[in-house]
Structure 1
C-alpha cells in the first residue's frame, strides 16, 4: 500500500519500499511497525505513538500541523479545503462583533475581580484565551485602560442616567475617604430610588477627586456640581444621608437640601459614650485587644493556640481583631474572646501573654456582650441594603424598651443598661419630631403608628403625612386638568371640516343630547369633588385601620400590590421609603476603592479609580 497522500506523519518517517511493513524514523533511525497483517491494513497509529514517546517536540509540531490541516490522526479523509484552512488560521478582526463582545467580557472580568489592566499581558491569561478562541487577538493593556474602559464607563453612565431620568424623588448618601497608600481623597455620592415595581434600587454616581480643605463651602459646591453633571435638580433631592461631622451638616444647609446624619454613626457614639468609655470596661477591652494583637502578630503563638483548640476538641478559630471606630467590631472581638476563654486559660499555663484578663474583667466582658447584643442585631438590620428611614424610630423604641426592662437576669448589668439608656435618650431626643423619620415610619406597613413613644407624636406624624398627601393630590389634580384641556385646541379645526348637512343634523339633536350630557357631567363633577376632598384622608384612614403586616414581610411588595388601591399613599411611600437610614452605601463604595487603590496600584489616578469603582458597583445595570 502506498503511503496516504497528505498525511502529516510522513514528514517524520520514510519507507524503504511502498509496501514495507516498517517505517524508518527520521530522528532516531528506528524501524517502527506499521501495524496490520497485510498492506491493506497498514496504519499510522504506531508511528504517532513513537513520536509521542520518543520525540515530544516533533509530536507537538505534528499535532499543530494536523489541526491546521484538519486531518484525522491516522491521515484519514477529514482534510479541510484550502479556504477552510486559511479561515482557521486567520485572526478575527478587532472591530468585528464577536471580537468586540469578547473584549467587553474581558474588561468586565478585570473590573469585577479587581484585577490590574496588565492581566491581559500575563502568560496564563493569554494561554487561556488562545485555548478558548485561538483566532481572538487580545488587545494591548493600553487599549483596555485608555479606550475600552472609558467606552464602558460612558455606556454605563448613559444607562444609569436613563434609569433615573424620570424618577420624581431621589435619595443620596455621601462621604469622604482618604487613601492610606497615596495622597488621594474622594468624595462619594450614591443614589437610591424605587423602580416601577417598588423594588429598591441603588447605584454609585461618583467618587470624585477631592483634594485640599474639606470645608462646608467646598463640599456643597462639589456635590452640587455632581448633581448638575447628572442633570438632577435640587427639587428632586428628597434627602442626603451623611456622617455627623459639622462640615457635612453645614454643607447640606448651604445647598438648601434636607439631610440626615447616619443612624449607624450615632449608634456608634451612643455605645462609646454610654459604655465603652467607662474606665473599667475600657480597661478590660484594651487588655482583650492586646491579647488578640499578640496572636495576630505571632504565627507561632497562634499555632500553639490552635493546637490547644484541637486538644480540647474545638473547631480551630482565630480571634477577632476590632477596629476602634466600629463598636460592633469590638463586640465581635469580645465574643471571640469569650468563646476561647478556656483555651486562653490553658495557653497561659504554658506560654506568656503581654497581658491577661482578671476574673473581674472576664465578668465585665460577659456583661458587656449581653448588653450590646441588641445593638449589634439592630446595626446589622439598619445596615442592610433594604433598610430605610422608616426603621429608625422602631429601632430606637425597641432599644429603649430593652434597656428599660428589669429582671432577675439583669441584676449585674443594670448600671450599664441605665448608662446606655441615658445616651440613647440624649442622642435621639428629637428623632420623632423629624418628618423624614416620622412620615416614613407611618408609611411602612410593618410599623404605621405603633412605635411612637406617645399618642401626641403619633398624631403629629399622621397630620404631617396627611398634609403631604393633600399637597400631592392637589398637584396631581392640577396636572390632570392641564392635560385634559389640551385636546380642546383641535375642536375648531374639526368643526370647520364638518359638512353642512352634518352641522344641521347635529344642531337639531344638540339640545336634548347636550342637556343629558350636561346633567351627567354635573353629577360626575359633584362626585369627583366629594371624592377629591376626602380621597387623601380616606386612603390614609383605610390604610391605618388595616392590620400591620408581619415584621418579616416586605413593605415594598405591599406597596407594589396596593399602589392602584391607594395611589396617593403609594406615591408618597415611593418618595419617603427610598431613603436609607445610614451612609453605609458610601462606605461600601470606599471599601471597593481601597481594594482597587492598594500598595500595588498606588499610582492609579483618581479619575481612573473613579471609573473602575463606578463600573464595579454599577455593572449590574447593564442589560446585555
Structure 2
C-alpha cells in the first residue's frame, strides 16, 4: 500500500478489533434478527466444547428454519462462554438467555437436537422444550454396544493401533513402508489412525490397514513391529469392516447439511433391512450383523412413535408412509398429521373470519360462511382427479392428507422443499406442517462443525483470545455469507462430523 498509495494510512489492528469487526457483527445480527422475526417454528442444535489449549468452555446454539419460499435457512446464533460446572441448571440458564437475546419465544422452538448427555437432556426437560438426541451420537452408542465392545474386536483394534502408531512415530519406518508399496506397485498411502470416540474412524482405520495388508506382511518379514496380526485377526477385521459399511453410509447421509428429521425413520429402517439380510454364508458375519441389529433395535426402539420423526417422514414427499415397519405406528402418525393440519385450518379460518369482520362488518362474515373457500375448491378438484379408495374420510384435513399420501413418492435424490414450493397452493395447511417439521435437523453436526472452526481460531498461538472475541469471529465466519453471498464457508467445512 505504501508503494501504491503513500498517502493511505493502513488501519491498525485495534481498528479492526474494536470498530470494524464489531460493526460488521452488529449489522449481521440485525439482519438475522429481521429474518427470525416472523418465523413460526425453528429447529436448533446445541453442544458444549472445552478447549485443549486454554481453560475455556463454549456452548453452541445454531438455528435453522424454512422461509415462506421453502428455502432452508441456517445460522449460527451463539458460541458463548460457558464457565463453571456444566450442570443441567446452568445449561438451562444459558439456553434461556440465548433465546431471550434473540427474542425467540419458547412456543417457536420446534425442537432442540443435542447429544445424549444427561445434563443436556435434563435441561431441556426442565425448560419443557422438545428435544431429541443426535442420530449420529445414538448410532455411535449402538455400534459400540453391538460390535466394537466385543472382546475379540477390541483386541484386534488395539493391535491395529499399535502397528499404525509405530509408523506414525517413526519417519524411517514410514519411508521403508513407502518403498515396499512402490516395489509392489501399490498406491503410496498412509495408514489412518482412529479416534476411539468415533466409531467410523475405526472403520477407516480398518479399511486403510486392510488395503496395505500385502505391504505390511512384507514389512514384517524384514523389520520389527510392536505387534503382529494373526490370520484370525485379519479375517475378523475384514468381517468387521464389511458389517460397519452400511452404518457408515447412513452416518454420511444424515450428516449432510440438507438432512432433516424426516431422514431418521427411513435410514434406520434401511439399516435394519441390511443387517437382517442373509446374503453371506459366513457364520461370523451373520453373528456380527445379528448382534449389531439387536443393539440398533434397542437404541432406536421408539423412533416410529416419536411425532417429530413420524410426521416429518410423512410430509417428506420422498418417503411418505412407505418406511414404517409397524402398521399401528403408521396409523397413529397419520392421525397426528391430520390433527396438525386441522389446527392450522382452524387457525387460518379464525384469522380469516376476524379479518373479514373487521373490514366488511357482520354481513360479510355470514357471506363467508355460506360461500365456498379456495381451499375447498382446490380439494374438490384434487378429489375429481384422484378419487380416494379404501378408508372413508370426512374432514378436509383427512381429504388433504389422504390425497397427498396416495400420490407416488418423489425421487429419493430430489429436494423435498422444492416439491412443497411447487405444491403449496394445492395443500396449503399441509405445506405449513411440512415447513414446521422439515426444519428439524436429524443430528447436532452443525454444532460439531462449529467447534471444528473454533479449534482453528483458538489454537496454541492464539490461546489468550477472550470468549467474546472468539464468539465474534465465529459468528462472522459462519454467517457472513447471509449479507455477502460470495462469502460462503460451507465448502470449507465439508460434511465431516
Distance between the aligned counterparts of 2:112 and 2:373, measured in 1? Answer: 42
Give unpaired runs (5+ residues) of structure 1. Answer: 1-128, 492-513
Structure 1 residues 173-182 or 348-357, which shifts more?
Answer: 348-357
**Displacement, 1:411?**
3.4
Report the 3-state secondary structure (helix = DSSP H, G, I; strand = E; otherwise coil) of the residue aligned with 1:378: helix
Report the 3-state secondary structure (helix = DSSP H, G, I; strand = E; otherwise coil) of the residue aligned with 2:126: helix
Cα deviation per residue 1:29-72 (whole Å; 9 max; x = unaligned)?
xxxxxxxxxxxxxxxxxxxxxxxxxxxxxxxxxxxxxxxxxxxx
Equivalences for 1:504-519 in 2 at 5 Å?
none
**Who is 1:50 aligned against?**
none
**Displacement, 1:137?**
2.3
Aligned length in residues: 471
Distance between the aligned counterparts of 1:571 and 1:520, measured in 2? Answer: 27
Aligned CA-pair RMSD? 2.1
**TM-score, L = length of structure 1:** 0.73
Equivalences for 1:282-301 in 2 at 5 Å?
282-301=154-173
**Who is 1:559 aligned against?**
420
Q: Does 1:544 align with 2:391?
A: no
**Displacement, 1:368?**
0.3
Report the 3-state secondary structure (helix = DSSP H, G, I; strand = E; otherwise coil) of the residue aligned with 1:286: helix
Report the 3-state secondary structure (helix = DSSP H, G, I; strand = E; otherwise coil) of the residue aligned with 1:347: helix
Q: Does 1:321 align with 2:193?
A: yes
Q: 1:311 to 1:527 in 2, by over 3 A?
A: closer
Q: Does 1:457 align with 2:329?
A: yes
Cα deviation per residue 1:463-495 (whole Å; 9 max; x = unaligned)?
110011101111111112222222247x9xxxx
Distance between the aligned counterparts of 1:132 and 1:386, measured in 2? Answer: 45
Give unpaired runs (5+ residues) of structure 2. Answer: 381-393, 486-497
**Who is 1:358 aligned against?**
230
Equivalences for 1:161-560 in 2 at 5 Å?
161-488=33-360, 523-524=370-371, 534-560=395-421
Distance between the aligned counterparts of 2:6 and 2:188, measured in 1? Answer: 47
Distance between the aligned counterparts of 2:151 and 2:109, measured in 1? Answer: 44
**Displacement, 1:292?**
1.2
Distance between the aligned counterparts of 1:297 and 1:199, measured in 2? Answer: 48
Q: 1:421 to 1:484 in 2, by over 3 A?
A: same
State which structure, 1 or 2, has the greater radius of gyration over its C-alpha atoms: 1
Report the 3-state secondary structure (helix = DSSP H, G, I; strand = E; otherwise coil) of the residue aligned with 1:197: coil
Cα deviation per residue 1:274-321 (whole Å; 9 max; x = unaligned)?
000000011111111111111111111111111111112222111111
Distance between the aligned counterparts of 1:180 and 1:206, measured in 2? Answer: 20
Report the 3-state secondary structure (helix = DSSP H, G, I; strand = E; otherwise coil) of the residue aligned with 1:384: coil
**Displacement, 1:130?**
4.3
Report the 3-state secondary structure (helix = DSSP H, G, I; strand = E; otherwise coil) of the residue aligned with 1:408: coil
Distance between the aligned counterparts of 2:245 and 2:373, measured in 1? Answer: 58
Q: Does 1:602 align with 2:450?
A: no
Report the 3-state secondary structure (helix = DSSP H, G, I; strand = E; otherwise coil) of the residue aligned with 2:132: strand
Distance between the aligned counterparts of 2:328 and 2:250, measured in 1? Answer: 26
**TM-score, L = length of structure 2:** 0.91
Choose from 413, 429, 439 the match for 1:568. Answer: 429
Structure 1 residues 342-351 or 259-268, which shifts more?
Answer: 342-351
Cα deviation per residue 1:506-549 (whole Å; 9 max; x = unaligned)?
xxxxxxxx9xx999767515998897973322221111010011
**Displacement, 1:195?**
2.3
Distance between the aligned counterparts of 2:93 and 2:140, measured in 1? Answer: 29
Report the 3-state secondary structure (helix = DSSP H, G, I; strand = E; otherwise coil) of the residue aligned with 1:544: helix
